[in-house]
Structure 1
Amino acid sequence: MFRQISILAPGLLGGSVAQAARARGLAKQIVIWARRPEVRLALRGQPWCDATADSPAAAVRDADLIVLAPPVDRIAPLTAEIADHVAPGALVTDVGSVKAEISRLGHAALSGRAHFVGSHPMAGSAHTGWENASPDLFAHRVCFVTPRPDTDPAAAERVARFWRELGSEVVTVAPDAHDEIVAHISHLPQVLATTLCTFLAARQPGWRNFAGGGLRDTTRIAASDPAMWRAILEQNRDEILRALRAFQDELQGFSAALANRDYLELTARLERGKTFREQFRPLP
């Protein structure tokens, strides 16, 4: 599909993009830039990396697809940094889990020269870093593609096709709609898992030694990188606050049913939760 794919700041997602693109023959050349020299040195020995660059500008100069994979608070500044160096007509996308501000600033930075089309693959792990990357990370996973109203439709379709070729099931939504969705299905669960752990730690830290499967499953994502999640929470603050307020209303309803011994209402809520969970699509 592409002559050169350049991946900037590869962690788990960026490294997996490189591996998946090489495994599926989507690029003649894959060029990677990483901020730390020791990472660039390590990447040179990887079969899915054809070359490393010492600067973002050098990495993107000949690319027809650029994938930005730093933390979400670094995507817009990195887009601005490379704006004068991208090839005319190049596609620029990202893997950040927040889209509205990133898409607006990315489009503004590249307007008239290249095309910014936001992306967010719903794939990941508590294990970060390119060392944990996998060519199958995106297989059968949803990937949001988030064009703006003024995005070139052909550019948006090429980015969508790229993610489909990596094995993803592409869903195209507006950036604002994306941020509302992930605030509820991704960011809110992170907040709840973290808050449950901080609550239990304050009550009696030793209770963790008695944890069974239920607590372990419910709190798995609380082990995620705090710095990464702080950036996400800052970027999607308003939508997450709205989700939290709605969840507090739901929790208050559950609490009231239990306090009032309204066991019919309690059972109805338990049944609704069970039904929703049973209707999840199975993971591959």
Structure 2
Amino acid sequence: MFDSLTIIGPGLLGASIAMSVMEHKLTQTVHVWARNEAKRKLCSELPWCTHVHASLIDAVKDSDLILLCTPVDTMVPLLESIAPHLKAGALVSDVGSVKNSICQGAEQVAKGSTLNFIGSHPMAGSEKGGMEHASGDLLKGAPCILTPTEQTDLMHLNLLEDFWSQLEMHTSCMSPQDHDSLIARISHLPHIVASLLAASLDEMSEDAFRHAGGGLKDTTRIAGGNPDLWQSILAENTEAVLRSISVFESVLESLKSSIETKDFDHLNHILKRGQRVRKRIEQSDPFNA
């Protein structure tokens, strides 16, 4: 499929992908580029990494598939840097949580080069970042959304779909715009809500938290994610995120009003809607979609 793979940015997702690729024997060679020297040294000692590079150009020049696994606001500049140095037929993809701005940037870069770029979003992760939390099983059973455009070559798209499928992911395709609208609702908004809930408790004492049950820990778990990473995600998807916040505000205001007016039938209706949707989420299975 791909004789060689380059991971640009071996964090949680990048390292997990490399582990899974080697476990599934999808390639013989995994190149890694990391900006940080200490991270490069650590990668050189790990079995899933065959070549570590301080030079970004050296990391990509001989690879068949290059995956950008860095924060979303760094991806277009990286594409600009590597595009002139890719070998003929090489495919570039990413793992970012925002697609429209990246795909538009890639199209601009491609106008002056032979860049072949298709967006990917493996919907796998954890609030615990870094390669120290990476696992070859992280991707197993998770969805992966590909975002081809009108310029996408069908052969490259089929190769990329096959790549993610062989890592035991369930692939689907949609436009970059549809992706960003969907992910704002089902990923970005949940992180915002979890972070706001946690932030609203900032003035509470440690003794108060000792009395908290599992509900608080469950609902604030993803607030533990990297704030800098999430700032870049939300900044790259502002329009869709704001639309999602407006929908949430409407439901929250309706609930608040039902309590203020003692309309407890309506309150019960909202709570039942939440229960019903939660059951739908639990019952959803990407492999049977």
TM-score using structure 2 length: 0.94
**TM-superposed deviation, 1:280:** 1.7
Q: How does 1:1-284 map to 2 (within 5 A)?
A: 1-111=1-111, 113-202=114-203, 206-281=207-282
Equivalents in 2 of 1:203, 1:246: separation in Å?
A: 29
**TM-superposed deviation, 1:108:** 2.3
Amino acid at match of 2:266: E
CA contact (8 A) 1:107 1:115 kept: no
**TM-superposed deviation, 1:107:** 2.7
Amino acid at match of 1:224: G
**TM-superposed deviation, 1:207:** 2.6
CA contact (8 A) 1:10 1:34 kept: yes
**TM-superposed deviation, 1:114:** 2.9
| Coordinate RMSD, CA, aligned | 1.6
Equivalents in 2 of 1:157, 1:10: separation in Å?
A: 25
**TM-superposed deviation, 1:206:** 4.7
Equivalents in 2 of 1:248, 1:203: separation in Å?
A: 24
**TM-superposed deviation, 1:264:** 1.9
**TM-superposed deviation, 1:195:** 0.8
Structure 1: where are the runs of 5+ without partners?
none
- 3-state SS in 2 of match to 1:83: helix
Structure 2: where are the runs of 5+ without partners?
none
Cα distance, 1:68–1:61 mapped onto 2, change above 3 Å: same
TM-score using structure 1 length: 0.95
Equivalents in 2 of 1:167, 1:28: separation in Å?
A: 19
Cα distance, 1:234–1:206 mapped onto 2, change above 3 Å: farther
**TM-superposed deviation, 1:135:** 0.9
1:137-159: CA deviations, max 9, x gaps?
A: 11010111111122112212211
Amino acid at match of 2:83: A
Amino acid at match of 1:231: S
CA contact (8 A) 2:139 2:167 kept: yes
Equivalents in 1 of 2:93, 2:148: separation in Å?
A: 10
Q: Percent identity?
A: 38
1:183-221: CA deviations, max 9, x gaps?
A: 111111111111111112146665322211111101011
1:65-110: CA deviations, max 9, x gaps?
A: 0001011111111111101111122110001100000111123213
CA contact (8 A) 2:128 2:224 kept: no
- 3-state SS in 2 of match to 1:136: coil
Cα distance, 1:42–1:203 mapped onto 2, change above 3 Å: closer
CA contact (8 A) 2:68 2:95 kept: yes
